[in-house]
Amino acid sequence: MFDAADLTAFFITLKLAAVSTLILLALGTPLAWWLSQTRTRVKVVVEALVALPLVLPPTVLGFYLLIVLGRTGPVGRFMESLGGEPLAFTFAGLVVGSVIYSLPFVVQPLQDGFSSIGRRPLEVAATLGASPVDRFFSVVVPMARASFVTAAVLGFAHTVGEFGVVLMIGGSIPGETQVLSIAIYDHVEALEYGRAHVLAAGLLILSFTLLLAVYAMNRRLRLVRP
Amino acid sequence: MTIRARYQIHLDDFTLNARFSVPDRGVTAVFGPSGSGKTSLLRAIAGLERGPIEYLEIGQEIWQDDHRFLSPHKRPLGFVFQEASLFPHLSVEGNLRYGQKRARNRSPILTFGGVVDLLGTASLLGRNTRDLSGGERQRVAIARALLASPRLLLLDEPLTGLDLESRSEILPYLDRLHEELEIPVFYVSHQPDEVARLADHLLLMNNGEVLAAGPIEEMLTRIDLPLAHGLEAEAIVAARVDRHDDDFGLTYLNSRAGRFTVARINLAPGRPVRLRILARDVSLTIDRQSDTSILNIFPVRVDELIAESAAQMLVRLDAEGVVLLARITRKSASLLNIDVGSRLFAQVKSVAVLS
């Protein structure tokens, strides 16, 4: 049913989504925590920046990333000066794009989850002798566990589903940057509707299953909405 | 040993401006109308509120002053908030162990079993916190705070928001805490009956300021303070069970003022009790009445008197060092020619045994 090229695209998609989700959780958790606790006015600016990928056409984001990461862009030149390759049209470039593009899908559920815990449990933990780091791991993480699941699944699913950013900065290099959504586009362009059907239906089922799992879990945990 | 504090903290809607010292033992009731800063004072003591002026000395240790600030998690104290605030992700036992685990380097004031017994939480250990009643939650919260081996216990209206049944379920446990704990306790309340029952000292707050602090018996009967002028103006008298009179179903109690006769109570002779006597239940006579149904009559000397309204006066009485309040009409005061120093008899119509 799948040919080798499609299978490769499938695994690249999974790898991209998995790597991006891990990086998103690592970066998004402290960012969301800061946003949920801070009272500075800078907060609204940061919130707006984080939310930007929700409204911006992916091609706009992809275009700027291409400029910045490409051979003539600042990051590209920096990479070359270190003896490396520019990130445009590489898997690493895709990861950078995905992380930025999916950031709100990870940060927002985490921020909501952290905010809904409120100050009280943390104050209780402090008066019971828990240090700030201890409080985060012994109170915040377990109380916001549903938000972590939501954030991870949304970040993963959204990365699987992205198209515009990937097309702009990754192109469609089989084995390197060709992900499922691009492969589908290529099949349609080549009028291979049958193969496009298989991949499209596969993505549809995968996305639906992931979301179903999130909503079912939230219904059970009743801590936050995605 | 003394607890000394000085705070000036600007909060959203008012400023806490407190300076007081209270003994480093027993229960200090923090009393005042709602919004007077009682909770904020406790939060300041716990290090949860910061302000331009901060000073806190607990016995020999200084927890904060101009140069030092001990973080909340480094202060050996237990804080029981108004809502029990149990951790929802932990079982009852998990909640209890949370503070215990983090107090390893403090010398425990009670063992796990001791605390569980003291607060009757043994049967709750395996339960989910969601399935507890309000009274049970509050008992677990108090036990959790005690297991952190505090040097100081802060209770913020632990009975507010509970129904009458839960309140009467918890009060006996608080009595036991009062009897068995050696550490000082701050107890925020706006319920006069709780304060009269549990407190040794009273810290009176209004508008973010500490009006006065002192022993409970003295504070309740100081006629320069608002406490003595409420509808429930009262005096607290310390007494001990002397013996029971089973023929009449009575118990005799000894106090410095003399012998009190009350309806039989279930306490062994020698046990201490607190009596609460409302000012409106005390009447005054020139001579000792013998043809009266009232049993509790004491010789007293008028200490102070003040007109409360056109019709009423409040009289502060000294009965061998025990202070009583009497609320009488100005007309009676004039007819009996009552003045400071007058020697009279106080007839106590009704006595409530508190503990």
User: For residue A144, what is the nearest residue in chain B, using CA coordinates?
Assistant: B89
DSSP helix/strand/coil, B274: strand
Q: In Å, how far is A141's CA from the nearest CA of chain B?
A: 10
Note the pLDDT of residue A172.
80
pLDDT band at A225 (very low <50, low <70, confident <90, very high): very low
The structure tokens listed for B213 are 């602090």
For B248-264, b/e burial (b = at least 16 CB within 10 A) is eebbbbebebeebbbee
Across residues A193-202, what is the average pLDDT? 90
Q: Which of A120, A130, A135 sits opposite B81 (nearest CB)?
A: A120
Q: What is the pLDDT of residues A131-179, one digit of tens each?
A: 999 999 999 999 999 899 999 999 999 998 888 888 888 888 888 888 8
pLDDT over threshold 80, residue B231: no
Touching check for A131 and chain B: CB below 8 Å?
A: yes
% pLDDT > 90, chain A: 47
Residue with tokens 């009485």: B317
pLDDT of residue B45: 96
**Residue A205 CB coordination number (10 Å):** 10
Given a cut of 90, whether residue B106 has pLDDT beyond it is no
Q: What was the pLDDT predicted at B179?
A: 81
In this complex, do A134 and B72 lie within 8 Å of one another by their Cβ atoms? no
pLDDT over 50 (residue A216): yes
Residue of chain A with shortest Cα separation from B88: A143
Task: Please write the tens of the pLDDT for every residue from A81-113.
Answer: 887 777 778 888 899 999 999 999 999 999 999
> Do the Cβ atoms of B48 and A128 come within 8 Å?
no
In this predicted structure, what is the pLDDT of residue B192? Answer: 83
Please enumerate in sequence order all residues whose Cβ is within 8 A of that of B334, keeping only pairs 6 or more positions apart, or say none: none
What residues of chain A lie within 8 A of the CB of B89, using their CB?
139, 142-143, 145
The pLDDT of residue B239 is 94
**Distance linking the first and last C-alpha atoms of chain A:** 35
Query: What pLDDT, on a 0 to 100 scale, did the predictor assign at position A207?
Result: 85
Q: How far is B258 from B279, CA to CA, in rounded Å?
A: 18
Other Cβ atoms within 10 Å of B195 Cβ, number: 22
Task: Write the CA distances from B347 to B135, B221, B241, integer angstroms.
Answer: 39, 18, 20
- Please tell me the predicted confidence (pLDDT) of residue B159: 86
Task: Kindly list the residues from chain A whose CB atom is less than 8 angstroms away from the CB atom of residue B48.
Answer: 123, 126-127
Among partner residues B75, B81, B103, which is closest to A124 by beta-carbon distance? B81
Q: Which two tokens stand for residue B160?
A: 């507010």
The whole-chain average pLDDT of chain B stands at 91
Whether B5 has a pLDDT exceeding 90, the answer reads yes
E strand map for chain B: 2-10, 15-23, 27-31, 53-58, 61-64, 77-80, 152-156, 185-189, 201-206, 209-215, 234-245, 250-255, 258-263, 272-278, 282-285, 296-307, 312-319, 322-329, 343-348, 352-353
pLDDT higher than threshold 80 for residue B355: no
pLDDT at A28 over 80: yes
Q: Which of A122, A124, A138, A220 to mutate to test the interface with B (most CBs of B within 10 A)?
A: A124
More confident residue, A4 or A152: A152
Q: Which residues contact A146 (CB under 8 A, 6 or more apart)?
A: A113, A217, A218, A221, A222, A223, A224
Q: Using a CB–CB cutoff of 8 Å, tell me whether A117 touches chain B.
A: no
**Residue pLDDT, tens place only, B204-216:** 999 999 999 999 9
Confidence of residue A223 (pLDDT cuts 50, 70, 90): very low
Residue A226 has pLDDT above 60, yes or no: no
3-class SS string, A160-177: HHCCHHHHHHHCCCCCCC
A127:B85 CB<8 A: no
HSE toward the beta carbon, residue B299, CA cutoff 13 A: 3
Distance of residue B101 Cα from the nearest chain A Cα, in angstroms: 9
pLDDT tens track for B163-176: 888 888 888 888 88
pTM over 0.90: no
The whole-number average pLDDT for the span B69-98 is 92
Closest CA relative to residue A216, chosen from A202, A226, A207, A204: A226
How many other CB atoms sit within 10 Å of the CB of residue A72? 11
CB–CB of A139/A93 below 8 Å? Answer: no
CA distance B57 to B69: 12
Does the complex come out with an ipTM higher than 0.95?
A: no
Residue A222 predicted with pLDDT over 60: no
- Nearest CB neighbour to B72, from listed A121, A127, A134: A127
Which residue of chain B has the CA closest to A118?
Answer: B85
Strand spans (E) along B161-219: 185-189, 201-206, 209-215
| Pairing of the two strands B185-189 and B201-206 | unpaired
pLDDT tens for residues A181-193? Answer: 888 989 999 889 9
Check A124 against B148: CB less than 8 A apart.
Answer: no
Split at pLDDT 50, 70, 90, the class of A224 is very low
Q: Please name which of B210, B229, B274, B164 lies closest in space to residue B30, comparing C-alpha atoms.
A: B210
Span of A193-197, B41-45, B249-253 with lowest mean pLDDT = A193-197
For the segment B115-129, the average pLDDT, to the nearest whole number, is 88
Q: Which residue of chain A comes nearest to B47, CA vs CA? A: A127
Are A123 and B148 an interchain contact pair (Cβ–Cβ within 8 Å)? no
Q: Do the Cβ atoms of B103 and A129 come within 8 Å?
A: yes
Q: What b-and-e string marks burial along A171-185, b requiring 16 or more CB atoms within 10 Å of the CB?
A: bbeeeebbbbbbbbb
> Is A121 in the B-facing interface, judged by CB distances under 8 Å?
yes
Judging contacts by C-beta atoms under 8 Å, the chain B residues touching residue A128 are: 73, 78, 98-99, 102-103, 144-145, 148
pLDDT tens figures, B246-260: 999 999 999 999 999
**Considering CB atoms only, which of A134, A135, A143 is closest to B88?**
A143
Residue B341 identity (one-letter amino acid): G
Tens of pLDDT along B173-182?
A: 888 888 888 8
Mean pLDDT for chain A overall: 88
Cβ–Cβ pairs < 8 A, chains A and B = 62
Calculate the alpha carbon distances from A160 to A13, A180, B299, B318 in Å. Answer: 6, 8, 91, 85
- The answer, yes or no, to whether residue A2 has pLDDT greater than 90, is no
Distances (CA, A) of B134 to B83, B173, B191: 9, 15, 18
Q: What is the pLDDT of residue A86?
A: 77
pLDDT in tens, B279-314: 999 999 999 988 889 999 999 999 999 999 999 999
The DSSP bridge partners found for residue B238 are B274
